[in-house]
Protein backbone atom coordinates (compact mmCIF):
# COMPACT_ATOMS: atom_id res chain seq x y z
CA UNK A 1 0.00 0.00 0.00
CA UNK A 2 1.33 3.46 -0.89
CA UNK A 3 1.86 6.08 1.82
CA UNK A 4 -0.89 8.20 0.27
CA UNK A 5 -3.40 5.34 0.46
CA UNK A 6 -2.34 4.55 4.02
CA UNK A 7 -2.74 8.22 4.94
CA UNK A 8 -6.16 8.37 3.26
CA UNK A 9 -7.27 5.30 5.21
CA UNK A 10 -6.29 7.04 8.45
CA UNK A 11 -8.26 10.21 7.69
CA UNK A 12 -11.30 8.52 6.12
CA UNK A 13 -14.46 10.27 7.26
CA UNK A 14 -12.63 13.46 8.23
CA UNK A 15 -12.32 14.80 4.69
CA UNK A 16 -15.49 14.71 2.58
CA UNK A 17 -13.95 15.10 -0.89
CA UNK A 18 -10.51 14.32 -2.11
CA UNK A 19 -8.25 17.32 -2.37
CA UNK A 20 -7.55 16.67 -6.04
CA UNK A 21 -11.25 16.89 -6.93
CA UNK A 22 -11.43 20.35 -5.43
CA UNK A 23 -8.01 21.88 -6.17
CA UNK A 24 -6.46 19.70 -8.86
CA UNK A 25 -3.24 17.70 -8.62
CA UNK A 26 -1.12 18.84 -5.66
CA UNK A 27 2.13 19.13 -7.64
CA UNK A 28 0.50 21.45 -10.21
CA UNK A 29 -1.12 23.56 -7.49
CA UNK A 30 2.10 23.82 -5.48
CA UNK A 31 4.11 24.78 -8.56
CA UNK A 32 1.65 27.54 -9.53
CA UNK A 33 1.41 28.77 -5.95
CA UNK A 34 5.21 28.89 -5.61
CA UNK A 35 5.47 30.91 -8.84
CA UNK A 36 2.94 33.50 -7.63
CA UNK A 37 4.62 33.71 -4.23
CA UNK A 38 8.01 34.26 -5.89
CA UNK A 39 6.53 37.26 -7.74
CA UNK A 40 5.21 38.66 -4.45
CA UNK A 41 8.59 38.25 -2.72
CA UNK A 42 10.53 39.93 -5.54
CA UNK A 43 11.49 43.38 -4.31
CA UNK A 44 9.15 43.18 -1.31
CA UNK A 45 10.39 45.44 1.49
CA UNK A 46 7.40 45.43 3.83
CA UNK A 47 6.54 43.56 6.99
CA UNK A 48 7.14 39.80 6.65
CA UNK A 49 3.84 39.16 8.45
CA UNK A 50 2.01 41.06 5.69
CA UNK A 51 3.91 39.13 3.04
CA UNK A 52 2.74 35.91 4.65
CA UNK A 53 -0.90 37.06 4.54
CA UNK A 54 -0.42 38.00 0.88
CA UNK A 55 1.10 34.61 0.12
CA UNK A 56 -1.81 32.82 1.77
CA UNK A 57 -4.25 34.86 -0.31
CA UNK A 58 -2.20 34.01 -3.42
CA UNK A 59 -2.43 30.31 -2.58
CA UNK A 60 -6.22 30.56 -2.28
CA UNK A 61 -6.41 32.39 -5.62
CA UNK A 62 -4.41 29.63 -7.27
CA UNK A 63 -6.86 27.10 -5.82
CA UNK A 64 -9.79 29.06 -7.22
CA UNK A 65 -8.48 28.54 -10.77
CA UNK A 66 -9.74 24.95 -10.58
CA UNK A 67 -12.97 25.60 -8.65
CA UNK A 68 -13.87 29.31 -8.71
CA UNK A 69 -17.16 28.62 -6.92
CA UNK A 70 -15.49 26.92 -3.92
CA UNK A 71 -17.01 29.03 -1.13
CA UNK A 72 -14.48 28.07 1.53
CA UNK A 73 -11.59 29.50 -0.49
CA UNK A 74 -13.39 32.86 -0.75
CA UNK A 75 -13.91 32.86 3.01
CA UNK A 76 -10.24 32.04 3.54
CA UNK A 77 -9.21 35.00 1.34
CA UNK A 78 -11.40 37.33 3.39
CA UNK A 79 -9.92 35.93 6.60
CA UNK A 80 -6.33 36.40 5.44
CA UNK A 81 -7.13 39.94 4.24
CA UNK A 82 -8.55 40.72 7.67
CA UNK A 83 -5.48 39.35 9.45
CA UNK A 84 -3.32 41.53 7.20
CA UNK A 85 -5.30 44.58 8.32
CA UNK A 86 -4.91 43.43 11.94
CA UNK A 87 -1.12 43.40 11.46
CA UNK A 88 -1.29 46.95 10.06
CA UNK A 89 -3.44 48.09 13.01
CA UNK A 90 -1.00 46.56 15.51
CA UNK A 91 1.93 48.36 13.85
CA UNK A 92 0.01 51.66 13.82
CA UNK A 93 -0.88 51.30 17.51
CA UNK A 94 2.73 50.54 18.41
CA UNK A 95 3.84 53.62 16.45
CA UNK A 96 1.21 55.81 18.18
CA UNK A 97 2.32 54.59 21.61
CA UNK A 98 5.96 55.28 20.79
CA UNK A 99 5.12 58.78 19.57
CA UNK A 100 3.01 59.43 22.66
CA UNK A 101 5.82 58.26 24.94
CA UNK A 102 8.28 60.45 23.07
CA UNK A 103 5.99 63.48 23.37
CA UNK A 104 5.52 62.80 27.09
CA UNK A 105 9.29 62.67 27.61
CA UNK A 106 9.73 65.91 25.68
CA UNK A 107 7.03 67.60 27.78
CA UNK A 108 8.64 66.42 31.02
CA UNK A 109 12.03 67.61 29.83
CA UNK A 110 10.60 71.03 28.94
CA UNK A 111 8.92 71.24 32.35
CA UNK A 112 12.18 70.30 34.06
CA UNK A 113 14.01 72.97 32.06
CA UNK A 114 11.33 75.51 32.98
CA UNK A 115 11.53 74.59 36.67
CA UNK A 116 15.33 74.74 36.57
CA UNK A 117 15.21 78.26 35.20
CA UNK A 118 12.96 79.50 38.03
CA UNK A 119 14.55 81.45 40.81
CA UNK A 120 14.32 80.27 44.41
CA UNK A 121 11.78 83.02 45.03
CA UNK A 122 9.64 81.88 42.06
CA UNK A 123 9.72 78.28 43.29
CA UNK A 124 8.69 79.40 46.79
CA UNK A 125 5.79 81.46 45.39
CA UNK A 126 4.66 78.55 43.21
CA UNK A 127 4.75 76.17 46.19
CA UNK A 128 2.73 78.58 48.30
CA UNK A 129 0.18 79.05 45.50
CA UNK A 130 -0.10 75.27 44.99
CA UNK A 131 -0.61 74.73 48.73
CA UNK A 132 -3.31 77.43 48.90
CA UNK A 133 -5.08 75.97 45.85
CA UNK A 134 -4.95 72.50 47.39
CA UNK A 135 -6.48 73.80 50.61
CA UNK A 136 -9.29 75.50 48.69
CA UNK A 137 -10.02 72.31 46.74
CA UNK A 138 -10.27 70.33 49.99
CA UNK A 139 -12.54 72.95 51.55
CA UNK A 140 -14.96 72.71 48.61
CA UNK A 141 -15.15 68.92 48.72
pLDDT for residue 15: 64
- The residues near 70 (Cβ < 8 Å, ≥ 6 apart) are 22, 63, 64
For 88-111, what is each residue's pLDDT tens digit?
A: 999 999 888 888 877 777 777 777
pLDDT for residue 138: 58
For residues 84 and 40, is the Cβ–Cβ distance under 8 A?
no
How far from each other are the two terminal CA atoms of the chain, in whole angstroms?
A: 86
CA distance 33 to 55: 8
pLDDT for residue 136: 65
Q: Is the pTM of this model over 0.85?
A: no
- Identify the three-state secondary structure at position 41: helix
For 10-64, what is each residue's pLDDT tens digit?
A: 887 666 567 778 888 889 999 999 999 999 999 999 999 999 999 999 999 999 9
Amino acid sequence: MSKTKAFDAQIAGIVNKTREDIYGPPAAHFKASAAVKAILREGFTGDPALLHAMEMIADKLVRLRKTPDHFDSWLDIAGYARTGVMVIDAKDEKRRKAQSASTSLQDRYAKTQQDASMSIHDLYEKAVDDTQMSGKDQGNA
